[in-house]
Chains A and B, each alone.
Chain A
């Protein structure tokens, strides 16, 4: 079973600050995805990274996939209260359709 470890588990910051959350594993993944989940809703896909060393930007969010495809990070610049939510990383193995999720990072951005 592939295990994804996310850190930190909880993060509370002031509006305008920057933050980084991490997703690590001992396994190699063919792709890794980041989701955001709000209370009472299902996870919503933010980005998929597939190439080692890949960097993708989505407005104030920057996603990086490690060179060895075992880890990833999500960096948020100038966080806003609307960024509040649970950030989940998920991965599939080669040829797989099952998503394995980390436990998530619960982010609170205080106005």
Chain B
């Protein structure tokens, strides 16, 4: 079956611009996660959705970051007024349920470069 897909695969933008990153989870997975992976680092948790609602957004670095999942499937991560420090690979993962025993399946990521 199809895995987690993310678009675009690469995004180059200028400082101050707005960007949207899309995640299409595995069909039937109720939980969706966003992580950010900076160069030379492991992924860092940003936000978790259970269904349509953001159950935990404690990892979002500031209010320029926002994510939605309006129909409980596709999710969009939105970044306003981008800064050079936002440059990273943004990873999306999904799992059937949400819990420590549920395997999270990762997409290939979107590489964001802010010039």
Contacts and interface: CB of A to CB of B under 8 A. Distances in A.
DSSP class of B's interface residues: helix, strand, loop or mixed?
loop
Contact of A97 (B4, B44, B98): B98
Given A42-B91, A97-B99, A97-B100, A102 B108 contact: no
Contacts of A104: 41-42
How extensive is the interface on chain B, given as a class?
20 to 34
Contact of B45 (A4, A31, A42, A100): A100
Interface residues of A, number: 25
A16 interface: no
A41 B108 contact: yes
A102 B31 CA distance: 22
20 contacts: A4-B42, A31-B100, A40-B9, A42-B91, A42-B93, A42-B106, A42-B109, A43-B43, A43-B91, A45-B105, A88-B43, A97-B31, A97-B95, A98-B45, A99-B33, A99-B45, A99-B104, A100-B45, A102-B42, A104-B41
